Structure 1
Amino acid sequence: MKEISVQDLKDKKDKGEDFQLIDVREDFEYEMSNLGGLSIPLGGILIEAEKIEKDKPVVVMCRSGKRSAAAIMQLEQKGYTNLFNLQGGILAWADQIDPTINVY
C-alpha cells in the first residue's frame, strides 16, 4: 500500500496539485475537524466508490491511518491503483502541521 506523509500532503495542497482527498471518518468526526476532503465514511466506501477518481492521485485519510488503510484495501480489490494512505491521519496533521485543529 502506498502512503503519503502529512508534510507531503501539505506540500501538495500548497502547490495546488491536482489530487482528490477522501476522508473515511464518520460524519460527526468530519464535522468536528477536517482538511476539506470529500466525506465518505468507511462503511459506505464501496457503495459510494463512483465518487472516487481513478485518473488522478487520491489521498485517503481518517483519524490515525487504520480506517483509511482498510478503505484502500477494499478499493484496490475493485481495481483502484491510484490511492495513497495518509500516514497517521488527522492526528499526525494536528501534531506536525496544524496544532489548532480539533482532535479527539
Structure 2
Amino acid sequence: MLPIKEINVTDLSGRFEQNDSNIELIDIRTPAEVARGVIPNSKTLPMHLIPLKMDYFNNTDKEFIIYCRTGSRSAQACMFLNQQGISNVLNLRGGIMSWAQQGLNIEQNPIGSLV
C-alpha cells in the first residue's frame, strides 16, 4: 500500500494566500474539540461518520485536506478513504496544533457541517 499524501502547514497557508478554490478543509475532530476553534474555511465531519458520507468525497474536482488535533486520526481517515478508492485526500501533517503553533488564525465557527 502506498503511503498517504500529506501537506504541511506552510504549504496549506500558501494555498490559502493564493485563494486556491480547489481545496476543501475537513475537520474530523469531535464536536467538543471543534468548539475550541477550527482552521478558517473548514467544514466539520466527525471521524466516525466518514463511512456514511463516502459519496461526498467522490468529487474529483476538489482536493480534500483532512485534519484533526495532531494529524494521527486524520492520517487514519486518509488511509481509509484511499482504501475505498478515493485518492484526492491529503492529511494535514501536525493537525490544528501545528497550525496554531505557527501563529495562524483559528476561527470559532466552521463554514458548515457535513452531517
Normalised to the residue count of structure 1, the TM-score between the two structures is 0.88
Instruction: From 72, 82, 94, give the equivalent of 1:76.
Output: 82
AA aligned to 1:9 is L
Displacement of 1:50: 2.2
Q: Distance in 2 between matches of 1:101 and 1:4?
A: 18
Query: 1:44 offset after TM fit, Å?
Result: 0.6
* Residue of structure 2 equivalent to 1:8: 11
1:1-104 alignment, distance < 5 Å: 1-17=4-20, 18-35=22-39, 36-52=41-57, 53-98=59-104, 101=106
Aligned length: 101
Unaligned runs of 5+ in 1: none
Deviation, structure 1 residue 92: 0.2
The one-letter code of the counterpart of 1:80 is: I
2:111 alignment counterpart = none
Deviation at 1:56, TM superposition (A): 2.1
Letter in 2 for 1:13: F
In the alignment, residue 85 of structure 2 is paired with which amino acid?
G
- In structure 2, how many angstroms separate the alpha carbons of the residues matched to 1:31 and 1:91? 15
Q: Letter of the aligned partner of 1:92 in structure 2?
A: S
Gaps of at least 5 residues in structure 2 are 108-115
1:75 Cα offset (Å): 0.7
What do the CA deviations read for 1:33-70 (whole angstroms, capped 9, x no partner)? 10131101111111122223332211110000001011
TM-score of the pair, normalised by structure 2 = 0.80
